[in-house]
Amino acid sequence: APLLPHPLAWAPAAAAGRRGAYTGSAAEALSSGTPGGAKKLSDIAKVPLLLKESPVRVREIWLEQFRDKELVVAGTVGQDEYHIIHANATACPMFLTPIPRGEGYLNLVWQFQGDSFLYQTLESFQRGTSGAVDFGFVMFTELLGSHNLALLHGELQSGLLSKAEAARIVRFTREAYMDPARFAWVQRFNNKPREFDYEEFMKEFRPLERWNAMGSS
């Protein structure tokens, strides 16, 4: 059985537009100095040096740089995927990911703003706690035009998640926006929250099954 209630049980007035208040909280959490909320690639990398390398080499350098950092998740996103994710996430900036915990699971809610995704527990989201972010990642676009790559950089911001779980969350998020069948659930969650049935979502979207498959791939 779920550890947490239906994700929309907290907000019977969600369809009336109250969700907007929570997207505003994302802006606060992305303020300067917030882990996972870096604004520029130059904050963490030497962009002129990367510009001299091939796309393949940039990817190798990027992944190698953060491979052994326990609190950082890194990746690359191709130009086409980036544009699809950005457009779909701008239109539907919120969704949830259930994470297995013992006999049940923990629900995280994400919010998208700009090129950043922020994740917090359902409980903190319900309270409107803007600073209680457990994980966040940004897609840096400085090399999009020259290398057809966006560089993904995420940071764990609490002890709630492991690096492996954060990496799965990133993959889960990317698939949610790239797979039309999965994105239909994201659209329902954002645009028709009263029609979003949590048990139906768990049965048809099968997030836990997908989560386990990610661990074996």
Q: Is the pLDDT of residue 38 over 80?
A: no
DSSP-derived letter for residue 15 is: G
Residue type, 41: L
Each residue's pLDDT tens digit, 97-119: 988 887 788 899 999 998 999 99
3-class secondary structure for 83-96?
HHHHHHHHHCCEEE
Under 8 Å CB-to-CB from 71, ≥6 apart: which residues? 35, 155, 156, 163
What span, in angstroms and rounded, lies between the C-alpha atoms of 49 and 45?
9
Q: 61-64: long-range contacts (C-beta < 8 A, 24 or more apart)?
A: 62/151
Confidence (pTM):
0.81
pLDDT grade for 204, boundaries at 50, 70 and 90: confident
Each residue's pLDDT tens digit, 167-185: 999 999 999 999 999 999 9
- What is the full DSSP assignment across 154-203? EEE-SSSS-HHHHHHHHHHHHHHHHSHHHHHHHHHHHH-GGG--HHHHHH
Q: Name which residue leads in pLDDT, 152 or 129.
A: 152
Please report how the helices 79-91 and 163-178 are oriented relative to each other, as an axis angle in degrees rounded to 10: 80
- What is the full DSSP assignment across 16-81? GTTHHHHHHHHHHHTSTT-TT----GGGTS-HHHHHTS-HHHHHHHHHHHHTT-TTEEEEEEEHHH
